[in-house]
Amino acid sequence: MRSQPPSAAFTIAQVAARLGVNEDLLHEISIDMFSEHGCMWIYDIDREIPAFTDYGIEHLEFELEQYHGWKPADHPNRRPYGVRKIPTLGCPRRKSSID
């Protein structure tokens, strides 16, 4: 079964603002992320920008919680993203009020 390509991606600046974390920290985490983790690159004329699908944002949240002590409730700017119904590729999925 083929998976659907993402219909939207969020730039690293937008994700950092929504999660209330430093953009440099997200960039450091995203270095080890690939397309199967929900990370992609947007190419502009003069720069390359990391971007994340909903699943990529979930992966970032997991990495932040596990390795950097980040707690979603600590950041009032955080806005919930949709929950993807796909395997997590080793990244445990958190419980959601949608489920």
Q: What is the pLDDT of residue 76?
A: 55
The DSSP secondary-structure symbol of 2 reads: P
Q: What is the pLDDT of residue 96?
A: 47
Q: What is the CA radius of gyration of the chain?
A: 13
Q: What is the pLDDT of residue 72?
A: 64
Q: Return the domain boundaries, the chain.
A: 10-74
From CA 40, how far away is CA 50, in angstroms rounded? 6
* Residue 66, CA distances (Å) to 3, 4, 34, 61, 63 in order: 28, 28, 19, 9, 5
Q: Which residues of the chain have pLDDT under 50?
A: 1, 81-93, 96, 99
Query: What is the tens place of the pLDDT at every residue in 38-50?
Result: 999 999 899 999 9
* Residue 31, CA distances (Å) to 2, 5, 34, 39, 66 in order: 26, 21, 8, 9, 17
Angle between helices 54-68 and 12-19 (to 10 degrees): 50
From CA 34, how far away is CA 45, in angstroms rounded? 22
Q: What is the pLDDT of residue 70?
A: 74
Q: What is the pLDDT of residue 73?
A: 60
